[in-house]
Amino acid sequence: MEEKAGRELRVGIAGVAGRMGRALIDAVRARAGVRLAAASVRRGTASVPVGDGGEEEIVARADPAALFAASDVVIDFTAPAASVAHAALAAETGTALVIGTTGLDDRECRAITAAADRAPILMAANFSLGVNLLLALTRIAASRLGPDYDLEVLDFHHRHKKDAPSGTALALLRAAAQGRGLDPEATPAALDADRNGVREPGGLGFAVLRGGDVVGEHSVILAGPGERLELTHRAGDRAIFARGALAAARWLADRAPGLYSMADMLGLDAPGG
Note the residues at the interface with ligand NAD (CB under 6 A): 14-15, 17-21, 40-42, 45, 77-79, 82, 100-103, 124-127, 241
Contacts of 138 (CB under 8 A, 6+ apart): 172, 175, 176, 179, 220, 231, 270
Q: Has 162 been annotated as catalytic?
A: no
Q: What is the rounded distance in angstroms from the CA atom of residue 110 to the CA atom of residue 114?
A: 6
Q: Has 161 been annotated as catalytic?
A: yes
* Residue number with CB closer to ligand NAD (48 or 223): 48
Q: How far is the CB of 263 from ligand NAD (least distance, A)?
A: 14
Q: Which of 161, 162, 218, 233 is catalytic?
A: 161
Q: What is the rounded distance in angstroms from the CA atom of residue 18 to the CA atom of residue 16?
A: 5
Residue pair 45/66 in contact (Cβ under 8 Å)? The answer is no
Q: Which helix (H) or strand (E) holds 21?
A: helix 19-30
Q: How far is the CB of 81 from ligand NAD (least distance, A)?
A: 7
* Residue number with CB closer to ligand NAD (79 or 247): 79
* Residue number with CB closer to ligand NAD (82 or 220): 82
Q: What is the rounded distance in angstroms from the CA atom of residue 70 to the CA atom of residue 74?
A: 9
Q: Which of 86, 157, 218, 233 is catalytic?
A: 157
Q: How far is the CB of 254 from ligand NAD (least distance, A)?
A: 21
Active-site positions read 157, 161
